Structure 1
Amino acid sequence: MSASNRARQRQLHLNINILHSGFVPSAWRLPESDPAAFADVRHYIRVAQIAEAGKLDAVFLADNAAIVDQIHFRPIPALEPTVLLACIAAATTHIGLVGTASTSYNEPYNIARRFATLDHVSAGRAGWNVVTTADAPSARNFGRDAAPDHAQRYARASEFTTVVKALWDSWEDDAFIGDKASGRFVDTAKVQPIAHHGEHFSVQGPLNLPRSPQGHPVLVQAGGSADGRELAARHAEAVFSASQSFEESLAYGRELKARAQALGRGPDAVRVLAGLTTIIGATEAQARQRRDALIDLIPWDYSLARLAGTLGITPDRLKLDERLPDHLVLPANGNGNHTFFNATLALARRHGYTVRELIRELAGGGGHRVIVGTPEQIADDIEHWFRHGAADGFNLMPDALPDGLQDFVDGVVPILQRRGIFRTEYEGSTLREHLGLARPQGRQSARKAA
């Protein structure tokens, strides 16, 4: 295939969500797993290097501002994402670095500075996953009795993101001079305050470091609610979705991109990356044996509590060999996880699963889609979703790390490459180039264009 044809051909995008020991809650109990890996930078670096060898677009780190899982049984996201990603940046050369930071318990200036710094130190590989935080333990960690309601959180998040973008643009691209002969260090006419005064924030600016290599670190979002979709349509350049079926994902992507276009963004402004857990075996039977062995290591009370939390009910309402209760709804204040609630409920209702069957299908009670099979079967599924427009790519969550990712890179990636839908080499050096995203115009470029 010629270079020009490759340039015109739509390419699949793959990220790895480094969920400490892996997506399945019992992954840390496998003989080859290290229970202490969740707090060991070497573990994350190793996973990132495997992903880079497979030419994946980016690593992704989730985060929480509190202990919100059952630590008597499983590890949690513990290391702060931007610090950890800076360590990964030093040990890799191409792979993107996406970290989560909440708009609920941070300030725009700090987040703008932190991710611009990560973009500088990684030579243009940073991305910020914009989230709001709804859980009560996090609220209490920041001196509040309860989390703000859903609408308030997203109103703050939208203004927060607007301010961060303005701070990233507060230096023009050519503001730094560094001319020893003339003694001119910075052209201060090209470094301007943003003077933002809004409902939630007053931020003068400018930022205290030059515009970063990508202009803006890539903006990522994962909202499934109406407010979340509006935030994504307005600001996000990549969205992590949690659809459980092809039809749901296709409809989600079409709606999101239509919203973005209605807001004046281009039809190709947002990449939809569906969450996908993979459990791989040399044969389908071996893959299912691996899945069953992992699930058998999970206490049922853990899975019931996890599923109940997703559905916003108490565990006593769930009976293992009965279907989900009727008339399940999100809490009245909207402070549930809309994305996982809707995806989980749709999966259960569509197949008529009992609670036990649903937990097994979700590989322990999580909300993302799970594929169990051979490399060929997994590649077939990925290709089908990609070629028919249900996703631009996938946010991968292997069952166990690093082994599950190594199985994917060794078994699935070569098939996708042979089929011509995934890169064999990195053609760019920044995360924007990996994702095929344009570099945002700075103030100077926008002024010239006008």
Structure 2
Amino acid sequence: MNAVNDSFLQGAERGVLRLITAGSVDDGKSTLIGRLLFDSKGVFADQLDAISRAKHKRTQGGVMDLSLLTDGLEAEREQGITIDVAYRYFATPLRKFIVADAPGHEQYTRNMVTGASTAHAAIILIDATRAADGKLLAQTKRHSAIAQLLGIRHIVVAINKMDLVDWDEAVYTRIRDAYAELAQRLGIATHYVLPLSALTGDNVVSRSARTPWYTGAPLLALLESLPVDDARAGGPLRLPVQWVIRHGGSQIDDFRGYAGQVASGRLRVGDAVQVQPSGVPAVVKSLRTQAGQADAAVAGDAVTVELDRDVDLSRGDLLVHAEAPAQVLREFEAELCWLDARALNPARKYLLKHGSRLTSAKIRAVHSRRDIHELQEVEAAGALEMNDIGRVTLAVRDALAVDAYTQQPATGAFILIDEASNQTAAAGLIRLPAQA
């Protein structure tokens, strides 16, 4: 246990892997996370005692129901399903992990999108008993499509409940080949497939003697080996301004700073920057972080920027380097994952939240939607229903400084909000500018 605790203290230099579990209902997502927590010594004795006495335990005999470590809501325990995203933290001597357990039910796809938006890796669970013939369930396809859309680099396919099919290699092979075909059709460049049993722990932390035909690494060793290089650090500067700080405004030497978190790239004192969308140029005079004055700030740093001149800059504006600006657009194409129970209505107006800027938006056209079963774009008939993924053209009231999501997720993502209900209607990924 000491080694695990030590790794938490030293985790900064070891790397943190953010991952999400996804798949269909009853594929064993919560049990798998519980197994990882239990086998990595990430559970306290009183937690184990509590779940051993839980009235909603869903296992037979003396087998511990590890899914209760993540299913914390009373409704989740009563129904035996995951409803909300549950975040859990654990560590090994090699790495720290932040795990999001996403719901499998189609009704809660919006929760999966939320958890996947910041993940480095996704574990797609497949129930071997339900896909033994090589036919993948719709939620497996939907969650895989969302993971690909969100640019998750590492897809790990965990074929669970192999103990219920007697560790049949032929079942594993059929599911592996079916997912390989799905990955090719979705454009998933790299994925890993392994057989396991979350309930018994086979191939979760250590190799199982029941799968001599499987030569790959167990799940935990695979997760420890995945690279988590932050692509944001090498990208162009993107700093969305969240707050304008003014101190001593009545004095001649008053201070005016612009606070925000660096979304990508690096900013140094003396850099020539540009305010977008206005295009006003300036030079960085000083940088302040929580630790005090700084010479530079990198992606992930919260920083206050002082410029060499007073400019018209407010919440929602973007600071960029003059040589690598974002595109300033009032109309663009995007992929929408529709989250609202009320279908998309092109006649309605929506609010669009992009970074720290809020503006009104109108959907000019709905071009297509993705058929999850056929894995192709089909006609959308002018609307998107809840959990549909579709390609649209949007027009916004105020010009936005944007990038394609595949290049800069921080400035390439947005949400749509229903003006009337104030509900989040959709999550959006900016693609190409609309053609004139």
TM-score after normalising by structure 1: 0.27
Structure that is richer in helix per residue? 1
Which of 1 and 2 has higher RCO (CA within 8 Å, sep 6+)? 1
